[in-house]
Each structure stands twice: as structure tokens, then as C-alpha cells.
Structure 1
Amino acid sequence: MTFKNQIILIILILGLPIVSNAQVITFKKYYSTDRRDYGHSIKQTEDNGFIIGGCLDNLITLIKTDSLGNVEWKNSIDTCTIYSNIKVYIPTTDEFLILAEDIQLIKTDRLGNVIWNYTLIDSVNDEGLGIYELIIDKNGKYVMVGTSRSDYYDHNMGVLKVNINGEIEWYKEYGQDTILVGAGIAIDNNNNYVLLGNTLRVLESGTGFQPGDVYFLKVDSFGNQLSQSYLANERRTSAIDIINNGSDNFSILYRSYPDPPEPNSYYHISEITPSGIEGKIFTFNNTLRYPRTISETSDGGFIVGGFVTKLNQFGTIEWETNTVSWEVIQTNDDGYAIIGNRCVQDCDGNWEIYGGPEPDYDVFFLKLDEYGFLYQEINNLKIQPNPFTKTGMITFPNLNNEVHNIRIYDTYGRLARNYEDINDGKQPIYKGELRVGMYILELSNDEQRQYLKFIIN
């Protein structure tokens, strides 16, 4: 049982209601057109609303919502594909910045009207350059990291700096003596840029690559190299993301592959000093599922995107969801905003190989509280009669026939009964071997959990 569930059980046993903090708003919203829609990025705006970036109906799209996820405006800007990754940033309170495929950089005003739209790949004359991440430095400049590919075996880390008008100040490549790809970028307290990359090793067959070492490079604001180091070089590793944790140290998220291979890989969060020395490491044996991003939370812990996972400052998992995200951020009320996609039709995933109808996706926006809960229809979970002696009936609203699981815990937090794959909104419960006393019922699906106390007499 997770730490979060233990806390909830204690609250229930003490007789306190399970209600959301009045300051934390939770909701679930969907945005869609008639075609495939993908939500990739989300940021909170100054008015406590949100700006969402994605590819909707094959168009780069910004969606501005209020604090409840209701659409205030939507603006489609340029074309995109299902393989695009549309990231949105807020350089000032009056502007939005969009990073799209082929290092396309777009600036809009606060209503999503385009100020300028540049395809920077033409300016650096590097048709093989792909940009993965962007930061806004202390002088308001835009610095991007990615990978330059001049041929199949020639990969260098590429870094591009652009001013507020979209004009390139400099472009540099690093790692010419190895095969190096860019993965992330952060900034230190002196406005130096800290680059996260990964070396690649050519397979013995001569075709294809496997991960090598995590690479950590610091450059000044002109791109001059200050220091470099390789991390975890005793095993194959893949760098995922890097953040400044506020003390001029950095936290990086990476994956390692045991050698010889094992069924499971390992994920690590490692603290890096300003000089590139690896400090404390938290290791997870395949428990972080498909992580994409990492950010520090207000309590000193971490929130990891992918299958969203909340960790405390000691690397212990506090709670996790089955929701797959493109990005997750902590909000001003200490809740969490999650953006991603859900498949709504033709979801078998084989259309590119076998033909047939293409899958249809919607953008979802999930707002959770600080404990990872979505408070929605929580009062409609019932067990009747309560108390009961031999048989009770659990009922809950389920208009969309979503699959739910039910777990029954005793007052010590021990699992006493488990019912899975319930989609008709009801489940009988029989006393059987259960002893007389109080129990906690947990109803869960992919996006939320609800709790209820009941008594067997």
C-alpha cells in the first residue's frame, strides 16, 4: 500500500471526511475536433488559468482555459503531424512561445495571435538538426538543445541561442569526438547553461545504436565550454531530463540497462553538483513507468511525468496514477495539472502496419489535488445496507461503463478483499470470512480513487 493510501485510511478510521482542501480545485476535461488531437504541453498563467499546446486536427494549436479548465479561446497557428511534439512556454505575461518540430519557433501575443513564426533550421543550415527542449535564460533569451545528424553515424549535441525577436545569436555543436545526442537543458545561478546528453554506442552488427553514458556539460552564455563529466559509465544509460533544484545543484532523471541484460531496466534520480560530480542517487526498479519529465515540488520532492508519480525528498513514492501524461506541472494551489491524450476509437494501434481506420484521440486535461486525487462524484459511492450482517451491495455511477477495481481494507490497512474489472456500477459483497468490525472500501479506476467506511455486524 502506498503512503498516500495509508494516510487516507488513517483519516477514515479517525472519522474525518475525505474532502479536498478547499483551495485545491480538481476536474477532468476533454478537448477534441473531428480528427486526431494530441495535447503535449501545459503551463499555468498569471490569472491561475492554463495555456495548453498541442496538435489538433493536424494544426499547431493553443488552448487558453480558466482555472476550471473551461476554454476561453483556442487558436490554430500552423500545420503539424501526429509525430510532432508541441511545447509551450511563457516568456512574459503578455506572450506565449511555441517550440514545434523542425525547430520551428513561434511567438504569439496573450490571445494566441502570431507575432513571428520562424523555421530556424533554415538559418543554421543543418537539415539534420532536431531540438528537444528550450529554456528562457536570466536575460530573457531562448536557448535550445537537440541533436545534429550529418549522417547515420555522426551525431552531435546542438545548442541554439535566439533573442526575443527570433534572431539567432549563436549555434554550436559539442561531442565531435563521440556519438552524442542532446536530452535536456537547465540554467545555473550564474546564467550558465547546463546540458544533459547521452552517448551512443554502435552495435557490433554495425547497424543501429545502443545507449552509452549520460553526459553532463556546462557552457557559459556564449557557448564556451566550462566543464564536462560522464555519469553512470559502468552501465548503459539513457538521459531523460534535468532540472535545477534551486541550490545550484541539479537533479537528473535517467534510465540504466543492466549488462548482461535483465528483464527490467532501472530508473534513477541523481543529484549533480555544480562541478558535475554525482551525489545521492535514488533508484527505482522499473517502478517509474515511461518517465518523460521531472520537476521539483514545493515540499522538496519530485513529480515525474509519464505515468505520473509523486516522490518525496528521499525518493520514496508517495502516490502514482495510471494516467499517461506528456507533461505534468505543480500548480499555484499545490495541486497538479496533467496533459495527455486518450484514444476514443479504433485503438488497436496496428493501422500503420495493417491498414484500416486511423485511431481517434482526444486531448485530456486532468487537475488533481496535492495527494493525487480527483474529487468527482465522491458522494455517489454507496454500500447498502450499512452496517450489514451477511450481504451488502456496492453501487456507484458509471455511465460510460469504465472498468473499476474495488479493494476492502481492515482498520490496520491490510487488504481483506479484492474485486477487479467491474464495469456495471455495482458489486455484491458477502461477509464470508470477514470478521465483525469496520472496513474501508476503495473504488478506483485509471484516473481517480474514492473511499467509504462500512461496518459488518
Structure 2
Amino acid sequence: MKKLLLILSNIVFFANAQQNTFSKIIVDTVSFYGAPNIQAVVATNDNGVIVTGGLSFNGTFTGAATVLKIDSSGNVIWGKAFSRNNYYSYITCIAPTNDSGFILAGNNFTNTNDINLLVAKINSNGDTLWSKSLHPNTCRHISPRSILQTNDSGFVFTGVAIGDSSQGVGIIVCKLDLNGNPQWTRFITTDPVIGASARGNAIQQTADGGYIISGIICSGIYNGNQYEACIIKLLPDGSLSWAKKYKTTSSENCEGTGLLLENSGFVALVCIDDKRAALMKTDLSGNVLWAKIVAKSFNRNTSLTAKCHKNADGSYLISSASCFGSSMTKTDSMANIAWSKTFSLTGLDALELSDNGFFIIGRSPVCENNEFIHPKGGLGIIKTDSLGNQATCVSSVSEVAVSESMVASPANLNSFTKVVSNSVVPDVNNFNNLASSPGCLDFSGAIHPNDFGNDVVVSPNPSSGVFTLTTFSFDNAKYMVYNSMGELIWDSRYFTLRTEIDLTGFPKGIYFYKLFYQATGKVVSGKLITTD
């Protein structure tokens, strides 16, 4: 028996050892103002990924919607840019199609500063089969958050939009045929009171041909401004079947950010109070069966979103981001944690590949006031083995799933029919000015470690908890230290050339320091690693 166990353990070790792992940074080699501000990722059949977002022009927030193909070694194979009349465009969601292509959805701004829908179909080589700009009547500032191909080879997406003055901010759901022509559009809102709003974050098609959506509902200022997660069931024609909202027993704010189909119900990823993420299992009517905390969470007011996927073995993969680092957690089918990893880039998503390893895609972890800002940095890629390990940029953490009590109640929603029209097809161009190189994105998002000269020397690092930081500038400055969730845990009371930072009272892991020069606004940042 012992011999058999030894043989099996050697087989597992050998299999993991054969997996290709790496970490790379992708930058714009022309303007050197980073890589695309990515929004969505999907795996390809050849063990690579398609990355979508928006490409900045000359370091500004104007530019083109972008689509990148990255191979299994982290190299950029091709890039496409969608734009029209030099107005800013970006892609916010992507899904595979049954012909090995992809469907994209996003936004493009107009000369009236409005935001229209951008939808495009591409093949596996990135060639555009069709692209359209769509305009729902009496809706504006439309932002799609999730798209998929439907059973009839058409498409459906959900997101958020602003309706007319009596409807406020609500969930938009739009069904398209296989050529991208609108078939029906629904706008779903809560009570029309000040501050009330709703947003759809994820959509799936159910076995009856209808749809299930997870998202968030805000009750408005007259009802306590409570944010609650929601699950909404639609019939095949988009009309409401049922809707439920969810909160913890202590009435913390909640948001549904991911949704998976199961034979007996649904699994939703619910972010609670901007601090932790839970997997919540419901039956087919939306009644809660169980919920467990599986990861730290994100700030609801940022563009960061926790995501979940189902792996080939039936387990779940949860990725969760903050402004100062991210995590990837694998659980079993009952949400018990198998392992959890952290990394310093702001992880957009983590996907399982056909070799059972994982692809982590993220961007430079740069924030101000816990809001993501465009980095002078790049796009980070980490390829791990099947256990989530990678030698240079990934750290293991000990996490245990904790049961959470979730309360479900009916959600009273209103549904409006909208008419959508087509518009001009955007221009599509190739671009090949992105290059990849080995490395890890650090806290500052800087690509070159010498960008700031030798302003700060940290010793020792890693340490058991006490660090000495020495600066060679006499400019007035202040040190701040943050944990991996972006919470300020220490700051200097006055400026000295040599500063001792004691983190022995905090859990072992990765922390981030920021040295802020008050006169010039210059910021120098880096990692502090505490070990046993």
C-alpha cells in the first residue's frame, strides 16, 4: 500500500513538474504608456487566451477598443483595435461561440458624449465578421457586463444603463440574432425613488430557453440605501419570471458578481460589504441552500470585480481583486477551499486551461483613494501549474471557508421594453506594438526597477516583520503601508532618511509601501514580504 501511494505521489509530482509556468509583462513599445486597460478574458482552444479592453492613446483616456490573442507561452500573437472618428471605445465582455470564434460587447462614445453599444463577432484569427453600434431608445450610458451565445446561435447580454427620468438606473438585457440584429430589449428597474438603481453583472441561459441574471439592487436613499445581491429569472422572450434579492442576516451590503449553472440550481458569487466573497448555492427557484465565504473581496465603487468559473473536475475557481493585489482560490463542489494564492498584480480574471494549469491576467496595481487609475505599467500574465503554483510571482496563503447566513426575499422589479436600432460599423485596424518580457508587475506598476533610481532601499526583505527603509532624497515625504486589500495599516508621523517599519503584529504575507513626496507629488512604491 505504501509503495502504491509513493508511486501515485510521484505521478502527481511529475505531472505538475511538466506544466509550463511563467510570469510575463506586456507593454506598449511605441508610447510606453502601458498596455490595454483590460476588461475581460476568455480561454481559447489552443491553451491561450483572448484579452479585451481599451488601448490608451498617448497616455490619455482616449483610444480604441482592443482585442489581443496571447498564446500558451504568454506571447502576443495578434491585436485588433476598434474605433470610430477617434472617439474612445472599449470592450467590456467576451464569450466563445460555437464556430470557434468570439462575440464581443462594449462601448463607444459619440460626439454628444453619449455612450452607445458596440457589438462585434470575430473568428479565431481575430478577423471581424461583423460589428455594429446599437442605440436603445430612451436609454443612455449603456455598459454591457456579460455576454453569451444562446441556443439558437444568437446572443444575449446584460449590463447597466440609464433610462428616462422616471426609470433611473437599471439592468439592461438585449437579445440579438446570429448577425447581431436586435430581437428584443428589456430594461429592469426597482422602485423609482432617489438613489434606487440596479445592475446586471452575469447572465446564463437556462434549460427552458429562458435566462438567469445575477447583479445588484440599491433600494435608494429613502429606503436606507441598502445594496443587495439579486438573481432574476427571465422567460425566453425576456419577460420577468421571478426575482429575488439577498443580504446577510446582519444586513450588510451585497452584490452578485458571478453566476454558474448547476443541474439542481445556481451558484452565485456574492461580494459582501466590499470585504469578502461568498459562493451561494440556490435551488432552481432561487432559494438559498448554502453560502460560504471563500475569498477576500473588492471595493464596489471601483472597476474591480470578483469572478468565478467551474473547472473541468467540477470544482470552482474564484478570482478576487483589490487595488493592492489579488487572490485565486480553488474550492470543491461544496465550496470547501482546496488552496488559495495571492499575487501583487490587480488580477482581472483567472482561467483553467486544457493542461489543468491556470492563466492569471491582470494589470498594474495602481490606485488612488481605492479607485483604479490608468497605469504607466503594463499587462501582467501569470501561468501556474494545476496547484496554482508559480515560482516568482505567486504566494500561498492559508484560507478556510466559513459558512455565511444569507436571507432571500422577493424583489419587486419593473420591466420596460426598449427598441434598439443599428448604426455605423466601427473601423478595425491591426496593431503590433506590444511586446512581452519575463517579470512580475509590482505595486507601483513600474516596468523597470530603476524608473525611480535608488530612492528607497529596503533591508531585509523578506523579513520576520521589521524593515528598515532608507531614502537618499532630502525632500519632505511620508511613508504609508497597506495590506493586500488596500487598507492603510501604518504611516509615518514625520520624515526621516532612515525609517523602521514594524509589521510583527500583522499576519505573514505581502504588504505594500508608498513613499509620497509632498512637494513634487512623486510616488515611490514597493513590496514588503513578511515570513516566519
Larger relative contact order, structure 1 or 2 (CA cutoff 8 Å, min sep 6): 2
C-alpha deviation, 1:123, in angstroms:
4.5
User: What does residue 114 of structure 1 align with?
Assistant: 128
C-alpha deviation, 1:281, in angstroms:
0.7
SS across alignment from 1:361: coil
| Distance in structure 2 (CA, Å) of the matches to 1:289 and 1:55 | 22
| Distance in structure 2 (CA, Å) of the matches to 1:199 and 1:253 | 15
C-alpha deviation, 1:418, in angstroms:
6.0
Question: 1:96 aligned to 2:110?
Answer: no
User: What does residue 137 of structure 1 align with?
Assistant: 150
User: What does residue 46 of structure 1 align with?
Assistant: 45
| Distance in structure 2 (CA, Å) of the matches to 1:147 and 1:89 | 18
SS across alignment from 1:210: coil
Conserved 8 A contact 1:186-1:244 = yes
User: What does residue 357 of structure 2 align with?
Assistant: 335
User: What does residue 71 of structure 1 align with?
Assistant: 76
SS across alignment from 1:21: helix
| Distance in structure 2 (CA, Å) of the matches to 1:405 and 1:297 | 36
SS across alignment from 1:232: strand
C-alpha deviation, 1:253, in angstroms:
1.6
C-alpha deviation, 1:143, in angstroms:
0.9
SS across alignment from 2:255: strand
Deviations 1:166-193 (A, max 9, x none): 1001001223545433232122233320
Conserved 8 A contact 1:133-1:183 = yes
What TM-score, normalized to structure 2? 0.60
C-alpha deviation, 1:223, in angstroms:
1.1
| Distance in structure 1 (CA, Å) of the matches to 2:382 and 2:78 | 19
| Distance in structure 1 (CA, Å) of the matches to 2:264 and 2:468 | 47
Pair 312,176 (structure 1): closer, same or farther in 2 beyond 3 Å: closer
Conserved 8 A contact 1:240-1:292 = no
C-alpha deviation, 1:269, in angstroms:
1.6
C-alpha deviation, 1:231, in angstroms:
2.1
C-alpha deviation, 1:341, in angstroms:
1.1
Deviations 1:362-397 (A, max 9, x none): 11221111222114699xxxxxxxxxxxxxxxxxxx
Conserved 8 A contact 1:133-1:145 = yes
User: What does residue 432 of structure 1 align with?
Assistant: none
| Distance in structure 1 (CA, Å) of the matches to 2:92 and 2:287 | 33
| Distance in structure 2 (CA, Å) of the matches to 1:157 and 1:405 | 48
C-alpha deviation, 1:328, in angstroms:
1.6
**AA at the equivalent of 1:312:** T
| Distance in structure 1 (CA, Å) of the matches to 2:47 and 2:10 | 33
Conserved 8 A contact 1:237-1:254 = no
Write the mapping of 1:51-450 to structure 2, written as runs, cut at 5 A: 51-57=50-56, 58-78=63-83, 84=90, 86-101=92-107, 102-120=116-134, 122-149=135-162, 150-151=164-165, 154-175=168-189, 177=191, 179=196, 180-203=198-221, 210-232=225-247, 234=249, 235-257=251-273, 265-283=275-293, 287-289=296-298, 291-299=305-313, 300-306=315-321, 307-313=326-332, 314-317=334-337, 318-322=339-343, 323-342=345-364, 349=368, 359-375=375-391, 400=449, 406=462
Pair 164,358 (structure 1): closer, same or farther in 2 beyond 3 Å: closer
Conserved 8 A contact 1:60-1:86 = no
Larger mean CA deviation between 16-25 and 168-177 belongs to: 16-25
| Distance in structure 2 (CA, Å) of the matches to 1:82 and 1:18 | 48
C-alpha deviation, 1:124, in angstroms:
4.4
C-alpha deviation, 1:20, in angstroms:
6.9
| Distance in structure 1 (CA, Å) of the matches to 2:292 and 2:87 | 37
| Distance in structure 2 (CA, Å) of the matches to 1:421 and 1:218 | 56
Q: Could you list the runs of 5+ residues in structure 2 that have no partner in the other structure? A: 1-5, 57-62, 108-115, 300-304, 395-441, 443-447, 451-456, 471-507, 513-526, 528-532
| Distance in structure 2 (CA, Å) of the matches to 1:112 and 1:15 | 41
**AA at the equivalent of 2:123:** D
Write the mapping of 1:15-30 to structure 2, written as runs, cut at 5 A: 21-30=16-25
Deviations 1:208-246 (A, max 9, x none): x83432222111221132222222275143323232243
Conserved 8 A contact 2:275-2:296 = no
C-alpha deviation, 1:85, in angstroms:
5.2
Pair 83,138 (structure 1): closer, same or farther in 2 beyond 3 Å: same
C-alpha deviation, 1:96, in angstroms:
2.3
Conserved 8 A contact 2:298-2:306 = no
| Distance in structure 2 (CA, Å) of the matches to 1:94 and 1:154 | 38
| Distance in structure 2 (CA, Å) of the matches to 1:56 and 1:159 | 27
Q: Could you list the runs of 5+ residues in structure 1 that have no partner in the other structure? A: 1-10, 258-263, 379-397, 408-416, 424-441, 449-457
Question: Percent same amino acid among aligned pairs?
Answer: 17
Conserved 8 A contact 2:149-2:156 = yes
Conserved 8 A contact 2:83-2:89 = no
Conserved 8 A contact 2:120-2:132 = yes
**AA at the equivalent of 1:126:** C
**AA at the equivalent of 1:221:** P
Conserved 8 A contact 2:106-2:119 = yes
| Distance in structure 2 (CA, Å) of the matches to 1:400 and 1:19 | 35
| Distance in structure 1 (CA, Å) of the matches to 2:392 and 2:272 | 38
Q: Which runs of 4+ in 1 moved over 4 A?
A: 14-20, 79-85, 347-350, 398-407, 417-423, 442-446
Pair 49,421 (structure 1): closer, same or farther in 2 beyond 3 Å: farther
Pair 289,145 (structure 1): closer, same or farther in 2 beyond 3 Å: closer
Pair 116,64 (structure 1): closer, same or farther in 2 beyond 3 Å: same
Conserved 8 A contact 2:247-2:254 = no
